Amino acid sequence: MTKSDSYEMFVEMDNVDGDVKIKKKKKMKKKEKLESMKKEMDIDDHEITLEELEMRYSTSITKGLSSTFAQEVLERDGPNELKPPKGTPEYVKFARQLAGGLQCLMWVAAVICFIAFGIEISKGEISGYDDLYLAITLIAVVVVTGCFGYYQEFKSTNIIASFKNLVPQQALVIRDGQKNQINANLLVVGDLVEIKGGDRVPADIRVITSQGCKVDNSSLTGESEPQTRSPECTHESPLETRNIAFFSTTCLEGVATGVIINTGDRTIIGRIASLASGVGNEKTPIAIEIEHFVDIIAGLAIFFGFTFFVVAMFIGYAFLEAMIFFMAIVVAYVPEGLLATVTVCLSLTAKRLARKNCVVKNLEAVETLGSTSVICSDKTGTLTQNRMTVAHLWFDNMIHAADTTEDQSGQSFDQSSETWRALGRVASLCNRAVFKPNQETVPIPKLSIHELEDPLDLRYLLVMKGAPERILERCSTILIKGQELPLDEQWKEAFQTAYMDLGGLGERVLGFCHIYLNEKEFPRGYTFDTDEMNFTTSGLCFAGLISMIDPPRATVPDAVMKCRTAGIRVVMVTGDHPITARAIAANVGIISEGSETVEDIATRLRIPVEQVKKSDARACVINGGQLKDMTSDELDDALRNHPEMVFARTSPQQKLIIVESCQRLGSIVAVTGDGVNDSPALKKADIGIAMGIAGSDAAKNAADMILLDDNFASIVTGVEQGRLIFDNLKKSIAYTLTKNIPELTPYLIYITVSVPLPLGCITILFIELATDIFPSVSLAYEKAESDIMHLKPRNPRRDRLVNEALAVYSYFQIGAIQSFAGFTDYFTAMAQEGWFPLLCVGLRSQWEDVRLQDLQDSYGQEWTYSQRLYQEYTCYTVFFVSIEVCQIADVLIRKTRRLSAFQQGFFRNKVLVSAIVFQLCLGNLLCYCPGMPNIFNFMPIRVQWWFVPLPYGILIFVYDEIRKLAVRRHPGSWWDQELYY
């Protein structure tokens, strides 16, 4: 889009909507700009005559621009470089990480702690540094998780940098008729530049003169063959025509001069770069899930906190006390360790994937693969081996299939025929030839002449290969079973059929012929001149046809099959020709056997294409030209109606449009690709997968995941791991959420019934951030309960990470049991030390009275404040121990959601076993390490109090086994609906 365009649009918008705020306008402008980027490049610089070109850019095709004018243009257009988009400043990004829903709550809690501590200091009665510790810990948790998130984001942003590597440093420019070497960023539109083999093209240029110039366009279009650049305009599309060379492509050989028609961000590569950096990074499904439930948790925490704040005020507590209650409830209810747990679980899976050659750049992408429902795969290099391989041969009037496997392990054809030897010889002698990709241009058959090895035979052998019909024109005989037979109509027809058949397979067909030159006419030492053609080039003997294809990788058909069983749709999006694309698609199973396109049905039924019902066709091949004319609704329809889709001849913009269309239909889209041209789509996709070996830096930077071995089959592994981690995260979160209830209830009881506080905030933080982290992470090592690769991908709208059943079951059932366990142990510890349950009720104000040094217990004994405080710490510890014991039962039941724990096996997950041992050891250390009472409020409790919560632990386990049994036995029942999470 040019500057004037954007300006016009801007003006128009102003008129339509005069009073929209400026900010909004800017936003819309940016969006519009992005939209227009998606449209195809529309220039005619390649079609106009050189004179017109000179006029347009006020330049000369011999002398170039004048230096002064060039300077003016430079000032007008800006330097010839890729401008990185204005990003959000780093500190804003970091601040954003610190201001999530939970984080804000924790900030509030920390501030309340500070205020409470400050008030205590100003009153001069420091009863302890608990509040200070608490505040510092809370802030530390927020900052550390923030750093985690920031680091994640930081790693995956630097996209434009990779494009910069593509841009040349220096360029040879002709200004004022003088050749100068200048920095490429000083080039302007209209400059006359010279490129030679090895250079990178310094801008988009219209070629004026060329001598055997060839460029490598693979990074832009995906075509792997060198492309000839010449002054003629050969195609109306600027991407296809030969007289335009693109910025950043490499000139492989030859020399050319040209006039610059576009610089900087207005070049093709510049557009791709701004497209890639401009499309927003989609939020990963797991990020959406986590945000979704973090919001709920934060909401509930505020709700609980506020309710009890009001209740406390109503009961008659002081404002500050009520604030502290609010803070404590927030601390108790918010799962502080959860974000860390999720991150660790994801990175464990990422590590596991890395061992299988999938490097995950963005941690959250690990899960995205699991929920992927559509894979848009590039063809070349991903599905195929990216090397032209002989697929079929036609000789002796038979089509023979060649072995195309990577390691040549397949079946080979019968090689005994005499004709095969002749054909093989021609093919091996002629193999410095270059195949012409554009069949419509006249191919010059390649030929070469060789002496025979047989010393008795002094004849020269002339061999030739080329486009089959051209070769056939020059032949008068055909080699059949070693015999030269005259090439009559019958053979010609056979040739035509074979040629059509092979072409129909999407293969590139070459014809081969040879002739033994007459030794009298061409004795040894004869100088052959290919320019003058001073030798026989007709009446040759046709040897056969060889067709070639870039064959699919061996593992791909199987992987595609697995994707299908896993309910994932594989769509091919390629820059290649429709026929080839279709052939490969059929080969790897993207178009399954028996599937027909609308065109196929039309030819089969012999009816016009328009009469075919679109829904009858399972498969559909759409090429870039058709796609250009389709509206987005039509594209959506096509994607909806045809389960098997192939897109051919697509441009980078179109790839992006296809991805967007899939996303509109509610799919989670994975895109695989390797070229620069794939980078916008990779970025837009929910998960972009770049090829590690063939992939360009731009693609790798835009992607979330890199396949080190370029193997499509690795994606299937990724899907499996992604699904597994989703299930396991569910278990982990269920485990983590459960204990929030036994952490919360002590406060609720404390506020409403006024018992001495059963569980302190610091102890809660120890549960959240120390003892329970390892077990919740260990659930990530749990094996799958069923064959997850036979299930459909999850529906992102329905199958949530945290659903109602999970929360309700964790909170109101298991959490409730744990609370009862805690209170049983609490009351036991209190009663055994002399405070009977009924005395505890309403005791709070006396219990916490610092001046009261002789409070009587149930036996008439008198306690000092400090003695009561240590008793309170004992209660904290006892409650802590109860939660730990119940959490061990909890982690055991969370191993499975449906299967019995006995079916899953208790010891198969070694990490989980060691996590339980670790949890117990840490619990014991906290309880019995000297000094703990005064630092962290843990008391060395009596051993028997460890066993009080045990019945509740057993209850949890037994109850959950009953639940799972009922869920297994009665699928779809009320029980299943309400209690299966």
Enumerate binding residues for another protein (CB under 8 A). Answer: 812-813, 816-817, 820, 823-824, 827-828, 831-834, 836-837, 851, 853-854, 856-868, 870-871, 874, 934, 942, 948, 951-952, 955, 974, 978
Read out DSSP for 828-848? HHHHHTT--HHHHTT-HHHHT
**Shortest gap between Cβ of 823 and another protein (angstroms)?**
7
Residue whose entry in the numeric block shows the structure tokens 């003629």 = 232
- Cβ-based nearer residue to another protein, 386 or 874: 874
**Residue 714 and residue 712: Cα distance in Å, rounded?**
5
Amino acid in the structure at residue 101: G
**Shortest gap between Cβ of 933 and another protein (angstroms)?**
9
Q: Determine phi and psi for 851, rounding to 5 degrees.
A: -85, -15
Reduced to 3 states, what is the DSSP secondary structure of residue 451? strand
- Cβ-based nearer residue to another protein, 646 or 948: 948
Read out DSSP for 234-261? --SSTTT-TTEE-TTPEEEEEEEEEEEE
**Shortest gap between Cβ of 952 and another protein (angstroms)?**
8
- Cβ-based nearer residue to another protein, 312 or 817: 817
198 to 193, 201, 597, 965: CA distances (angstroms): 15, 9, 44, 70
User: Which of 749, 759, 751, 762 lies closest to 837, judged by CA?
Assistant: 749
Q: Is residue 448 within 8 Å of 571, Cβ to Cβ?
A: no
**Shortest gap between Cβ of 946 and another protein (angstroms)?**
15
**Shortest gap between Cβ of 640 and another protein (angstroms)?**
23
Buried b (16+ CB within 10 A) or exposed e, 2-31: eeeeeeebeeebeeeeeeeeeeeeeeeeee
- Cβ-based nearer residue to another protein, 85 or 837: 837
CA atoms within 13 A on the CB side of 64: 23
**Residue 677 and residue 249: Cα distance in Å, rounded?**
12
- Cβ-based nearer residue to another protein, 680 or 949: 949
In 156-206, which residue ranges form alpha helices assigned H by DSSP? 160-164
**Shortest gap between Cβ of 225 and another protein (angstroms)?**
50
As beta bridge partners, residue 462 has 449, 515
Rounded to a whole number of angstroms, the CA Rg of the chain reads 37
In 10 A of CB 80, how many CB atoms? 28
Strands 540-549 vs 508-516: parallel, antiparallel or unpaired: antiparallel
**Shortest gap between Cβ of 853 and another protein (angstroms)?**
4
- Cβ-based nearer residue to another protein, 32 or 978: 978
User: Which of 101, 102, 134 lies closest to 116, judged by CA?
Assistant: 134
The residues, ordered by sequence, that sit 6+ positions from 802 with a Cβ below 8 Å of its Cβ are: 289, 292, 293, 296, 730, 733, 737
Q: What is the DSSP letter of 200?
A: B
Q: Is residue 681 within 8 Å of 664, Cβ to Cβ?
A: no
- Cβ-based nearer residue to another protein, 133 or 774: 133
Q: Is residue 740 within 8 Å of 815, Cβ to Cβ?
A: yes
User: Which of 896, 875, 867, 884 lies closest to 961, judged by CA?
Assistant: 896
Catalytic residue (choose from 131, 204, 378, 704): 378
Amino acid in the structure at residue 507: E
User: Which of 853, 862, 854, 727 lies closest to 799, judged by CA?
Assistant: 727
700 to 83, 113, 122: CA distances (angstroms): 19, 46, 58
- Cβ-based nearer residue to another protein, 903 or 934: 934
List strand residue ranges (DSSP E) for 612-686, in order: 619-623, 644-648, 669-673
- Cβ-based nearer residue to another protein, 176 or 978: 978
In 10 A of CB 55, how many CB atoms? 11
**Shortest gap between Cβ of 838 and another protein (angstroms)?**
10
**Shortest gap between Cβ of 831 and another protein (angstroms)?**
6
Q: Is residue 743 within 8 Å of 333, Cβ to Cβ?
A: yes
Q: Active site includes 191?
A: no
In 10 A of CB 441, how many CB atoms? 12
- Cβ-based nearer residue to another protein, 187 or 744: 744
- Cβ-based nearer residue to another protein, 42 or 854: 854
- Cβ-based nearer residue to another protein, 281 or 824: 824
**Residue 699 and residue 616: Cα distance in Å, rounded?**
37
Q: Determine phi and psi for 671, rounding to 5 degrees.
A: -120, 135
- Cβ-based nearer residue to another protein, 204 or 960: 960
**Shortest gap between Cβ of 127 and another protein (angstroms)?**
11
For residue 701, give both structure tokens.
């930077």
**Shortest gap between Cβ of 664 and another protein (angstroms)?**
17
In 10 A of CB 781, how many CB atoms? 18
**Shortest gap between Cβ of 809 and another protein (angstroms)?**
11
As beta bridge partners, residue 855 has 863
**Shortest gap between Cβ of 934 and another protein (angstroms)?**
7
As beta bridge partners, residue 227 has 215
- Positions marked catalytic: 378
